[in-house]
Structure 1
Amino acid sequence: MRILLWHVHGSWTTAFVQGGHDYVVPVVGDRSPEGRGRARTWEWPHNVVERTPEELRDEDFDVVLLQRPRELTELCETWTGRRPGRDLPAVYVEHNAPQGRIADMRHPAADRRDLVIAHVTHFNDLFWDCGTTQTAVVEHGIIDPGHRFTGVLPHAAVVINEARRRGRVTGTDLLDRFERDGVPIDLFGMDAASLGGVENLSQHRLHDELGRRRCYVHPIRWTSLGLSLIEAMHLGMPVVALATTEVPEAVPPAAGVISTHVDVLTAAARAFLADPEAASAAGRSAREHALERFGLSRFLTDWDALLEEVVVNAHRAGLRAR
């Protein structure tokens, strides 16, 4: 297939473009979010090509993947001359859990019988009101970074991007509580340096540094499902996580401890820091589970099946991709 998609989430897109199709990503002069083009901090295959908005009108596509409201309402039609779902088979990939008053939240692609909303977690599918729009769930998958857990440092690792700005949403306020309860925290992520953490590491270096810590703490209150948590499990790290959103479904009991009781979590983290063998055993269970549930092969197979279904159904309904 020839697939049009915007470069929105680097880690997710890096996994998606491993599928062996032809991928076209819009690019604008300043590589702003409207058109970032190819990734510059991840390695993408050669079958991912950039096209300017002017060039997109002369391109043929089998399907478009939309990820933001503006792509649905404006960018796709303005840049390609084709209306998503009406002139071009379309999937809206919803990466996020709804924000705000949940009972009042309507998805921007709600009540669209001409496209499919693909959620990345069952939690999101449950919480978003999509009206009559068909929905599907394709859970995350990542490229396996390999088993890198050594646990040589009796510290807990945390990965949060923009931890200061996002505050309570990402559980940034809980980090001091872990520290006070005897759990040294090493924070990684964008803007982590403002809180005494480490930022601007390459993906490979980040994975190495995480694996040196004895457990992974996931303090995020409200998110879809952090890819950093899945990566930590792939690395073979034991997990201590808030039992919120999709986490109870994603982390099996043998992989660590999940709870909404922060004292339970701090105690679990202290126990892992004090017992390297227990940490290693839980980490092996975490990795085994992550490889099966969040492996790249399963992810790509699920996406191929959904894309084929969307294109076939669109053609049966009389729509023809150009």
Structure 2
Amino acid sequence: MENFNINKPRILTWNIHGSYLYYLSLGDYIIYVPYNANRSERYIGRGETYPYGSNVIEIPANEVRNIDFDIVLFQCDENYFADQYDLLSEEQLLLPKIYIEHDPPWEHPTDAIHPVVEQDVTVVHVTNYNKLMWHITVPDVRVISHGVYTGNTLYKGNLKKGIVVINNLPSRGRMLGYDIFQKVREEVPLDLIGMGAEAEGSQEIKHPNLMEYISQYRFYFSPIRYTSLGLSTCEAMMIGMPVLGMSTTELPSVIRNGVTGFIDNDIDVLIDKMKLLLALPTLALGMSHSTREQAKNLFSIDRFVSEWKALFIEKLTQKSIRYEKKENSLY
């Protein structure tokens, strides 16, 4: 019988979204990430940004075909259409496959056909909104909502400013709400942190220090028009920080207007609410407990990693059953 590792699944994936990989790595399984000599895009290995544990093992890309894995976990189209064929052996190409869809469709919001059509691949969405909008033709489609861990950091809100956490915001334009950010900042004190926005006074804060850093700000603002639910939004809520943003995509399902923050599609309304929170710190502090409780209900890290491990074991069990049937048919 094949060497299935049911109790401690061995997962091959790529380091595409470092924060997601970090939270995924908090589960009871082993994750292998490839790297190449240049540590180029998709092949950076563990990297130096996140405090991964010993269960995240980086391996040379040219050695992938010589290592035993149980599951291949894709996180972008390049992984699925190119990387697997560059790295995997013929035997490894037959392993169970899962594709994480981190984003809603870009080409068309409702009619875009998902590129994964291989019928035995499981597609996992990170939000129900993603699942709703993608036209997917494979039978096994799941949703595993985000899980985050913020330690003992709690919201303080003593700094009379709002904070935005987005990488490369200027280059990502209207979809990520760069114009909205600029408009709001004309009327409300607003800082931006993240890579690629130095011209906006932005700086990059390493993930282990991020929660303590943003906890000082009065509120968190997401100017994004169209995206999946950002992990930084979940993290802000988990420390008890009021969140403001557009009333679009998944955000209406996680923000209770006037209780855990404010959402609206009228930017002027949001600006008024920001000014209110800046003027009344007690209002922001009053929202903090409700925000944190909402986040604990929605974004439990224990729920998140348990759902992932259950899916890994389910996929391995299915493969084991198919293998046994094939073995028995030979006799």
The TM-score, its normalising length taken from structure 2, stands at 0.90
The aligned counterpart of 2:38 is: 30
**Shift of the alpha carbon at 1:10?**
0.3
Residue 237 of structure 1 aligns to a residue whose secondary structure is coil
- What is the number of equivalent residue pairs in this alignment? 316
Q: Is the 8 A contact 2:127 2:145 kept in 1?
A: yes
Q: Is the 8 A contact 2:98 2:124 kept in 1?
A: yes
Q: Is the 8 A contact 1:145 1:231 kept in 2?
A: no
Q: Is the 8 A contact 1:222 1:244 kept in 2?
A: yes
**Shift of the alpha carbon at 1:138?**
0.3
Structure 1 residue aligned with 2:244, among 240, 250, 269? 240
The aligned counterpart of 1:21 is: 29
Q: Is the 8 A contact 1:150 1:211 kept in 2?
A: yes
Q: Is the 8 A contact 2:155 2:215 kept in 1?
A: yes
Distance 2:261 2:42 in 1: 39
Q: Is the 8 A contact 1:88 1:319 kept in 2?
A: no
Offset from partner CA, 1:262-300 (integer Å, 9 cap, x none): 122111111111111110121221111112211210100
Give the aligned residue type for 1:99.
W
Distance 2:78 2:262 in 1: 39
Q: Is the 8 A contact 2:153 2:211 kept in 1?
A: no
The aligned counterpart of 1:89 is: 96
Q: Is the 8 A contact 2:165 2:193 kept in 1?
A: yes
**Shift of the alpha carbon at 1:83?**
6.9
**Shift of the alpha carbon at 1:199?**
1.3
Distance 2:269 2:322 in 1: 54
1:128 paired with 2:134, answer: yes
Residue 317 of structure 1 aligns to a residue whose secondary structure is helix
Give the aligned residue type for 1:306.
L
The aligned counterpart of 1:183 is: 188
Q: Is the 8 A contact 2:27 2:305 kept in 1?
A: yes
**Shift of the alpha carbon at 1:133?**
3.7
Q: Is the 8 A contact 1:143 1:296 kept in 2?
A: yes
After the TM superposition, which of the residue ranges 29-38 and 120-129 deviates more from structure 2? 29-38
Q: Is the 8 A contact 2:11 2:73 kept in 1?
A: yes
Structure 1 residue aligned with 2:213, among 189, 209, 215? 209
The aligned counterpart of 1:302 is: 307
The TM-score, its normalising length taken from structure 1, stands at 0.93
1:251 paired with 2:245, answer: no
**Shift of the alpha carbon at 1:258?**
0.8
**What is the percentage of aligned positions where both structures have the same residue?**
34
Root-mean-square deviation over aligned CA pairs: 1.8
Q: Is the 8 A contact 1:155 1:186 kept in 2?
A: yes
Mark the runs of 5 or more structure 2 residues left unpaired by the alignment.
1-8, 326-331
The aligned counterpart of 1:105 is: 112
